[in-house]
């Protein structure tokens, strides 16, 4: 099946996203003068935008690509929660399944962008507001109940763990067992504890997350003799070899493992394939903004699996989605037309290369 045909089947696919919704805020302004109080610039505020971040960004990408996202996560009963919910609704995401509580605050990442008038704004600082982890545990039962209620009509589950209490190691086994019960794929992305979330259909760590796992004592005790630390390309020791990706897939007990390599592309290992496959990055080598790119990748990858794609084709689709979104400013989404156009151009180019046509 051609990649374009798979994208055309995204429409209406019901995907549960269990994870940490984040209010990504962008405060921008112009530098007015130097303060007399301290040697710092005074920023004249122009606007503050709120966009769906974290698991909410994955949900927004599902919606933009034509799917039907079912977002389950914790949001505070506060101003940032209201702004995030409004941004989600504007993006086409139903907010009925969010768990709202006055016991927690909405996870918020405020980026301050500064510059002269008519010049490109540069990020000068990021301020994070995080929920109290002790307060989120009591809400886990509500989250699992919502997963159970939504699963019979769902076609895949995304488990998006940013470490803020919505997607915990206690909730994951329940979500994984539910996915098996209904024979639907479950994909996992976790910032810090992917090693505790084993047995998913697939996982999508970035290079830093993959390296952190491989440096763990447990991984080294199991695979120390097999780890070569030979780079996939360009001789850089910071990359990861095809053999190492296969070992990491075995360690995580997944059917597939997709490691994003930034400007180097994507590396995917599959259970029934001896060799991992490296996919070169799509588009320019210098991204405009990588904020939220991993959310776009897992959204496109999971949608493709739900539409009947094999792992390699799903990885190609996700690679194109990631290549498109990093050329956009801020937390952004990819739509179906952009993705289909990029895939079509790539397939035409491959055909011309194979036939010698110009």
The rounded radius of gyration (Å) of the Cα atoms in the chain is: 21
Hey, what are 325's tokens? 């979104």
Strand partners, 29: 45, 114
Helix (H, G, I), strand (E, B) or coil at 219: helix
> CB-based contacts of 23: which residues, under 8 Å, 6+ apart?
50, 52, 53, 56, 80, 81, 83, 84, 87, 106, 107, 108, 109
Annotated active-site residue in 24, 161, 189, 295: 295
Give backbone dihedrals phi and psi of 27, rounded to 5 degrees, phi first. Answer: -100, 120
234 is catalytic: no
Distance spanning both ends of the chain, measured CA to CA: 25
> CB-based contacts of 308: which residues, under 8 Å, 6+ apart?
1, 6, 9
> CB-based contacts of 178: which residues, under 8 Å, 6+ apart?
147, 148, 151, 157
CB 325 within 8 A of CB 288: no
Residue numbers annotated as active site: 295
């Amino acid at each position: 099946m051609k990649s374009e045909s798979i994208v055309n089947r995204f429409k209406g696919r019901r995907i549960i996203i269990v994870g940490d919704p984040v209010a990504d805020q962008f405060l921008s302004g112009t530098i007015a003068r130097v303060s007399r109080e301290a040697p710092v610039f005074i920023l004249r505020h122009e606007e503050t935008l709120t966009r769906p971040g974290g698991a909410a960004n994955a949900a927004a990408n599902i919606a933009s690509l034509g799917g039907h996202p079912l977002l389950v996560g914790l949001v505070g009963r506060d101003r940032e929660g209201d702004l995030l919910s409004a941004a989600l609704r504007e993006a086409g995401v139903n907010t009925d399944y969010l768990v709202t509580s006055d016991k927690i605050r909405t996870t918020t990442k405020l980026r301050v962008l500064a510059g002269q008038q008519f010049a490109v704004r540069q990020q000068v600082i990021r301020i994070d507001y995080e929920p109290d982890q002790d307060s989120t545990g009591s809400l886990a039962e509500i989250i699992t109940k919502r997963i159970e209620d939504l699963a019979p009509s769902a076609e895949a589950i995304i488990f998006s763990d940013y470490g803020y209490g919505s997607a915990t190691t206690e909730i994951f086994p329940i979500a994984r067992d539910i996915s098996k019960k209904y024979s639907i794929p479950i994909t996992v992305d976790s910032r810090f504890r992917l090693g505790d979330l084993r047995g998913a259909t697939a996982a999508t760590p970035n290079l830093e997350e993959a390296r952190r796992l491989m440096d763990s004592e447990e991984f080294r005790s199991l695979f120390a003799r097999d780890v070569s630390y030979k780079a996939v390309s360009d001789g850089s020791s910071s990359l990861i070899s095809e053999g190492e990706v296969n070992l990491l897939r075995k360690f995580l007990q997944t059917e597939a493992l997709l490691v994003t390599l930034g400007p180097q592309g994507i590396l995917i290992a599959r259970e029934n394939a001896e060799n991992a496959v490296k996919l070169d990055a799509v588009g320019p080598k210098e991204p405009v903004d990588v904020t939220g790119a991993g959310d776009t990748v897992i959204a496109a990858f999971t949608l493709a699996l739900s539409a009947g794609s094999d792992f390699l084709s799903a990885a190609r689709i996700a690679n194109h989605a990631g290549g498109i979104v990093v050329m956009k400013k801020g937390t952004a989404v990819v739509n179906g037309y952009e993705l289909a156009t990029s895939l079509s151009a790539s397939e035409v180019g491959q055909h011309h290369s194979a036939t010698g046509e110009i």
